[in-house]
Structure 1
Amino acid sequence: MTPRYASTVELPRLDDLTLDRFAEDGYLVLPAFLPEGLVARLRPEADKWVDDGLRARSIASTTNPELYGLPPIMELELDAHGELIGHPPLMAVLSQLMGPSFVFHHLHSDRQAPGLAGKPWHHDYEQRPQAHRAYTMIHTLHYLDGLDEETSALAVLPGSHREVAEKDARARYGTAWLPGEVLIEDLPPGSTIVMHSALFHARRPRPGLPGKPRYLVDTSYCQAGTLWPPVKPYWRHMLRRGRELGLDRGLWPDLFDARHFAEYVKPA
């Protein structure tokens, strides 16, 4: 198959110190990681996703599939969002952190309103029940406009990805400061945070400020070798569309392979 996208971008190479830091802390900060042209195309797609009600319909199709069925469009069917999934520099980073075989898990895109409440401490590692951390799952958080004093900040708890804990084990703290946390609040446009999905983190608002929208695109991937729980009831359709659109660029045969997933189980 001919790759849909070509790339002449020089691919990043992580040194041993960076790899060790990710293993120890559970996250990497990559300032201005995405090219300006890609960011410029992602932003209006995120606006369309929110303003046309597509995000709301996607959520409805996930939480109540019996009533709503398949969403009319998925994030990966938006051109720039689909391109982002297999962005060559991102694939280069992920392959160094997880090895050559990994699968796409999901994509979320949002334009978060300035007054949006914070999100309590949690992690996003998909495992039922939470039992071990033998395999790596990674969330890549792409901040299209960066982070600054007019947006909510991201708090992370380095090293917490090595714990075996339920997603909401620290939710009782809300978005409060925790000992050892790192607050990420100043990033240029197009920055990416590569985060082990088991790392506890929180979205911390800045009350009393007028603020501005916070553009976030979250792409998630899982290391091959175990069966991962899907979070979308229509996950097979999503993976099939990824293959049909050539989003693996002909280079990553596992990226949309359904054999890496268990059956979908609706949350209780």
Structure 2
Amino acid sequence: MRPEVDRWVDHGLRARSIDSVRDPQRFGVPPIMELELPAHGELITHAPLLRVIDQLMGRAPYVFHHLHSDRQAPDVPGKSWHHDYEDGAQDDRSATMIHALHYLDGLDADTSSLVVLPGSHREHADKAARVHLGTRPLPGEVVLDALPPGSTVVLHSALFHARRPRPDDVPGKPRYFVDASYCEVGRLWPPVKPYWRYMLRRARELDLAPERPELFAERHFSEYVRSA
């Protein structure tokens, strides 16, 4: 995974992917997507991971939503409290959405930490409901700052979480981070990339999950609406 992430960042592929989302009419479909990188595609359907998601979904079928990959700089700023559940009205939690946060080198004193707020996924709250709090400590939070290399944190996508920066100015190390999300079928989910149909078609063409026909099925999504 690490060499692929390096390629994704150093060759401008991540920047090109971001451009395709920000201005799809100008940039169109990116030349390469994350799932077309062999190890990234394998990670999406990694059998031990899918077995965990099977359990959390209660054996309900689910569809792949998206994958993001990055090598965050040692001085990456914090990311304020937020959640990632994709629902415009944020008033329906009947269908489960799960994020898998992969930390290729783990988390330690040389990287920013992950902070989560247990139980917050039961709220019907906007993604940015706590963004004004920045990354400040909150009552009941759990800090994840000591994870071994290759760790994955699996959480309900509506769980509020934050990336808390390191507390000092001493240079740290790059933070290799890949996140993927999966959605319970039974409702239409809003896609986050304008080229989502192409993404799912390429996953099927690459035969990433031949034994799971719902995982890359287009019928579980609504039309793409560009964020304001």
TM-score, length-scaled by structure 2: 0.98
The SS at the match of 2:40 is helix
- 1:174 and 2:121 correspond: no
Distance 2:216 2:92 in 1: 24
- Counterpart selection for 1:263 from 220, 223, 227: 223
Equivalent in the alignment of 1:187: 147
Note the 1:1-268 alignment, pairs <5 A.
42-98=1-57, 99-206=59-166, 207-248=168-209, 250-268=210-228
How many residues are matched? 226
Q: How many Å apart are 1:63 and its aligned residue?
A: 1.1
Moved more, 97-106 or 180-189: 97-106
Unpaired runs of 5+ residues, structure 1, are 1-41
Percent identity between matched residues is 67
Q: How many Å apart are 1:102 and its aligned residue?
A: 0.3
For residue 240 of structure 1, what is the amino acid of its counterpart? R
The SS at the match of 1:246 is coil
Q: How many Å apart are 1:61 and its aligned residue?
A: 0.1
Q: How many Å apart are 1:131 and its aligned residue?
A: 1.1
Distance 1:220 1:64 in 2: 23
Unpaired runs of 5+ residues, structure 2, are none
For residue 135 of structure 2, what is the amino acid of its counterpart? T
Distance 1:266 1:135 in 2: 23
Q: How many Å apart are 1:151 and its aligned residue?
A: 0.2
Distance 2:101 2:207 in 1: 23
Distance 1:242 1:120 in 2: 32
What CA RMSD, in Å, does the superposition of the two structures yield over aligned residues?
0.6
Distance 2:53 2:189 in 1: 17
Distance 1:91 1:171 in 2: 31
Distance 2:191 2:22 in 1: 13
Q: How many Å apart are 1:209 and its aligned residue?
A: 2.2
Q: How many Å apart are 1:254 and its aligned residue?
A: 0.4
Distance 1:100 1:138 in 2: 13
Distance 2:49 2:213 in 1: 16
Q: How many Å apart are 1:100 and its aligned residue?
A: 3.8
Q: How many Å apart are 1:142 and its aligned residue?
A: 0.5
C-alpha distance after superposition, 1:207-241 (max 9, x if no partner): 32210000011011000110000000000000000
The SS at the match of 2:219 is helix
Distance 1:110 1:119 in 2: 14
Distance 2:211 2:103 in 1: 26
The SS at the match of 2:64 is strand
TM-score, length-scaled by structure 1: 0.83
Distance 2:192 2:150 in 1: 26
Equivalent in the alignment of 1:14: none
